[in-house]
Amino acid sequence: MSADPRRVLDAVWRMEGARIVAGVAKATGDVVLAEDVAQEAVVEALSSWREHGVPANPGAWLTAVAKRRAVDAWRRRSALDDRHRAMAHDLSEATEDAWEPIDDDVLRLVFTACHPALSRESQVALTLRVVGGLTTSEIARMLLVPVPTVQARITRAKKTLHAAKVPFETPDPPEWPARLQTVLSVVYLVFTEGYAATSGDRWVRTDLAEEALRLGRIIVALLPREPDAWALLALMELQASRFGARTDAVGEPVLLADQDRSRWDRAQIERGRAALARADAVGHGRGSYALQAAIAEQHATARDFADTDWDEIVVLYEALGRISPSPVVELNHAVALSMAVGPGTALAMVDRLAAQGALRGSHLIPSVRGELLAKLGRADEARAELSAAAALTGNEREAGVLRAKAAALGG
Amino acid sequence: MPKYMLIMRNSDSVENYEDMDFEAIINAMGAYNESMMKAGVLLGGDGLTDAAQGSVVEFTAEAPIVTDGPYGEVHELFNGFWTIQVGSQEEAVEWAKKAPLGPGNKIEVRRMTDESDFADYSDNEYIQKEKGWREELGTE
């Protein structure tokens, strides 16, 4: 195969981009400069490789060029004080030999990209860009926003890091747990953005979720003693294992109860279960991600919908509701309760939620209430609820399903 | 994101591990595997034991013919594999190039099939199947 330099460059950037930026950031103490010069190295690589062919060690080549560019940048700004002079000397020693980036540098990069001074949008864009090694156009395609929007987010992120004088380091022990949670929530946001997408090309959205999985795998490899990192990976693996069955041949969504379980990815389920077992082994009790993963595991290991261990799922939701209470968790808890105990008990729980004014304006409560009322044989009330839910949902497909259910109740 | 299998093959003439520093091989392979883990691309993989303990089942005649290893006709042995999930064939090839292997070895880089490979064939059977499920569960 005569390799197309452009495609090789894209591949190498995905593989090594994070390490290149991290290595230069470590040498210069400046992530923003590191990202800039790494991009310059990419541009230079394209013309050089087209002319001279792809070098034997493309990652080392890019690093060496990026470091040279960093020194040039200091020179241009006449910023070569003694400290920079010493660095410039070290950097000029950079060769194209094999180089071993230090994992800690990549970890610093992850924490920098998810720094709390940045907006959530900026954290996501910067993480995909510098840790995931994605191009701006790839990110734009996956997030369904125009390229200039992604560029603006990354530029703003760099300016913010600069203004906040964010150091290139991992957080101190007292800050560690909160900062790690931020990193994990950014990764999970990327995943759910792809997983729960109601718009866009299905394959593209799966790509985004898979990028999040890759980030999750990187994080557990760097932080193998962090139970929450393993638990998040487990949750994503288990949820992604159902991708193949979530839509039918014509792209219509298929509910969990109706999914063809033979299309679930067994190898991925096993990876998810192994990750959850790791989380349990290194942790002291399950947190929110681990409980959600355990619920997903119950579904993944049930032979069919009827065979699901609903009692166990109810217990898991109960624990999840105490650790991270939310109306959506509560509602799912009610659905599990209706399967385990019966619709009457579940309805009382949903009515309590509705009385609190939770999820007002959303179709979620009326659609669940409608289902439960139908099971209890209260057809008129059920029809009214399902129709109300259909009017509230913004998703036309879902509205159609709800209207069909209402119509099926006669009347 | 596509999945690829990196298939390690070598000609049967180079299978003389006893002449090598086995610990050095373990270390080099370990470092390679770790680098793929830290890049978040490694899904799994395994090595294979001595071909002398293996068998080949061949389908040329009326009935399958079984040959015990080492196999007369086979000059290249499949010795192990990795499964990785990366963005492109090029990226899979770049990972393969990093494997710590010497002369006589080859890595075959093959994309694994996924749902999209069967898109043209999934419709009828699955629509029927799902219809059945829906009726069964009363979710029609």
pLDDT digits (tens, 9 = 90+) for A320-363: 999 999 999 999 999 999 999 999 999 999 999 999 998 888 89
Contacts 24+ apart (CB under 8 A), B121-130: B122/A249, B123/A249, B123/A250, B126/A248, B126/A249, B126/A260, B127/A248, B127/A249, B127/A250, B129/A260, B130/A248, B130/A254, B130/A258, B130/A260
CB pair distance less than 8 Å for A1 and B93: yes
Query: What is the SS3 string spanning B51-70?
Result: HHHCEEEECCCCCCEEEECC
The 10s digit of each residue's pLDDT in B118-132 is: 666 655 565 455 545
What does the block give as tokens for A325?
């209470």
Residue pair B119/B26 in contact by the 8 Å Cβ criterion: no
Residue B132 has what pLDDT?
Answer: 53
Residue B51 has what pLDDT?
Answer: 85
Neighbours of A241 (CB within 10 A): 23
Residue A1 has what pLDDT?
Answer: 47
Residue B140 has what pLDDT?
Answer: 37
Question: Mutate which of A248, A259, A269, A271 to test chain B, going by most B C-beta atoms within 10 A?
Answer: A248
CB pair distance less than 8 Å for B40 and A214: yes
Alpha-carbon distance of A31 to A161, in angstroms, equals 8
Residue pair A229/B106 in contact by the 8 Å Cβ criterion: no
Residue pair B93/A1 in contact by the 8 Å Cβ criterion: yes
Widest CA span in chain A: 85
CA distances from B80 to B15, B21, B71, B89 (A): 13, 19, 17, 19
Residue A177 has what pLDDT?
Answer: 92
Of the partner residues A206, A221, A258, the one whose CB lies closest to the CB of residue B133: A258
Bond from prior residue into B103 cis (ω within 30 degrees of 0): no
Distance between B63 CA and the closest CA of chain A, angstroms: 31
Whether B138 has a pLDDT exceeding 50, the answer reads no
Residue pair A58/A19 in contact by the 8 Å Cβ criterion: no
Single pTM value for the model = 0.85
Average pLDDT, integer, range B2-26: 80
Average pLDDT, integer, range B8-13: 79
Residue B56 has what pLDDT?
Answer: 86
Phi and psi torsions of B100, nearest 5°: -80, 75
Residue ranges in chain A modelled with pLDDT below 70: 1-2, 78-102, 196-204, 250-251, 411
Alpha-carbon distance of A329 to A56, in angstroms, equals 52
The 10s digit of each residue's pLDDT in B33-45 is: 999 999 999 999 9
Of the partner residues A8, A215, A258, the one whose CB lies closest to the CB of residue B40: A215
Residue A152 has what pLDDT?
Answer: 96
Residue A97 has what pLDDT?
Answer: 46
Residue A36 has what pLDDT?
Answer: 94
Residue B123 has what pLDDT?
Answer: 58
